[in-house]
């Protein structure tokens, strides 16, 4: 059955990943909190933090039309505090290392292969970290300073996803309209 766009019916998830006991690994959680403050009152956006990783993320993301993920990254290609933004095509074309067992790319691909209702619009905002492994409740200075900018980018991306048309099955000519059920 063909699909037709329906404007502004999207639900977008802003999902912060990390562990608040591991220095810079907590940055995704902090970005989600700050983005949540910017997005409060927006009925189409859900903000959530999780310390889950890998395949457990499927439970979080299934059913949303848009997904903005905030997480840490340690690429060694940029200084701590640098904000990387990966769109859907970048996620699909390469493996992005994060201090989690199964990466976001692999989780999204598996969900699609399983036929789950995966987000159609995806963005990963990854903050370059200095120390994601030391037990400490405070992030390093450069990473901490990147939180507000990354949160603003996450909120902006969530709003952009809200403006994307959602797809719903269209009725084709000659297709009977099912009767409404009595309430």
Instruction: Kindly give the confidence (pLDDT) of every residue in the chain, 183 residues in length, as a single tens digit, with 9 standing for 90 and above.
Output: 444 444 444 699 999 999 999 999 999 999 999 999 999 988 899 999 999 988 899 999 999 999 999 999 998 899 999 999 999 888 777 655 554 446 778 888 899 999 999 999 999 999 999 999 999 989 999 999 999 999 999 999 999 999 887 654 443 444 444 455 554
* Nearest Cα residue to 28 out of 71, 80, 82: 71
93 within a domain of the structure (yes/no): yes
Structural domain for 74, as ranges? 3-169
Residue at 132 is within a domain: yes
| Residue 9: partners with Cβ closer than 8 Å, 6 or more residues away | 166, 168
174 located within any domain: no
Instruction: With respect to residue 94, please indicate whether it lies within any of the assigned structural domains.
Output: yes
**Domain count of the fold of the chain:** 1
Q: Is residue 39 part of a domain?
A: yes
Domain-embedded: residue 34: yes
Instruction: State the CATH number of the domain containing residue 77.
Output: 3.40.50.1450
Q: Are 128 and 98 spatial neighbours (Cβ–Cβ below 8 Å)?
A: no
| Contact predicate 61/113, CB 8 Å | no
Whether 183 is covered by a domain: the verdict is: no
Does 176 map to a domain? no
pTM: 0.82
């Amino acid at each position: 059955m063909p699909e037709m766009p329906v404007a502004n019916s999207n639900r977008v998830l802003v999902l912060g990943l990390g562990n608040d006991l591991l220095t810079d690994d907590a940055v995704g959680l902090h970005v989600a909190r700050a983005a949540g403050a910017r997005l409060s009152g927006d009925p189409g956006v859900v903000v959530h933090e999780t310390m889950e990783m890998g395949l457990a993320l499927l439970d979080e993301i299934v059913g949303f039309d848009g997904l903005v993920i905030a997480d840490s990254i340690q690429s060694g290609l940029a200084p701590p505090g640098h904000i990387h933004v990966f769109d859907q095509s970048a996620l699909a074309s390469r493996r992005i290392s994060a201090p989690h067992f199964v990466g976001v790319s692999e989780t999204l691909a598996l969900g699609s292969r399983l036929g789950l209702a995966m987000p159609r619009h995806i963005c990963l905002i990854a903050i370059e970290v200095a120390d994601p492994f030391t037990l400490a409740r405070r992030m390093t200075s450069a990473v901490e300073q990147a939180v507000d900018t990354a949160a603003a980018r996450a909120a902006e991306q969530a709003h952009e996803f809200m403006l994307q048309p959602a797809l719903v099955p269209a009725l084709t000519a000659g297709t009977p309209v099912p009767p409404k059920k009595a309430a």
